[in-house]
Amino acid sequence: IPGLPEGVRYYPSLLGRRRQEALRGAVEEALKEAPFYEPRLPRSGKAMSVRMSNMGPLGWLTDKEKGYRYEPRHPVTGAPWPPIPELLLELWARLTAYPAPPEACLINYYGPVSKMGAHQDRDEAALDAPVLSVSLGDSARFRLGGLKRSDPSRQILLHSGDVLILEGPSRLRFHGIDRILGGSSGLLPGGGRLNLTLRRVTAP
Ligand code: MD5
Ligand code: FE
- Give tens-digit pLDDT for 77-92: 999 999 999 999 999 9
C-alpha atoms less than 13 angstroms from C-alpha of 9 in its C-beta half-sphere: 15
C-alpha of residue 176 to centroid of ligand 1, in Å: 7
pLDDT interval class at 9 (50, 70, 90): very high
Return the pLDDT at 119: 98
116 lines ligand 1 (CB under 6 A): yes
Q: Which CATH class is domain 8-199?
A: mainly beta
Return the pLDDT at 32: 98
C-alpha of residue 116 to centroid of ligand 2, in Å: 8
Return the pLDDT at 59: 99
For a substitution probing ligand 1, which of 51, 133, 141, 156 has the most ligand atoms within 8 Å of its CB?
133
The residue contributing the CA closest to ligand 1 atom 13 is: 133
Average pLDDT of 58-76?
A: 98
**To the nearest whole number, what is the mean pLDDT of the chain?**
98
Instruction: Output 75-78 pairs: Cβ under 8 A, ≥24 positions apart.
Output: 75/37, 76/35, 76/37, 77/34, 77/35
For residue 128, pLDDT beyond 90: yes
Return the pLDDT at 97: 98
For residue 1, pLDDT beyond 90: no
For residue 185, pLDDT beyond 90: yes
pLDDT interval class at 2 (50, 70, 90): confident
Positive or negative torsion for Cα 147, 204, 23, 114: negative
Q: What residues pack around ion ligand 2 (CB closer than 5 A)?
A: 121
For residue 64, pLDDT beyond 90: yes
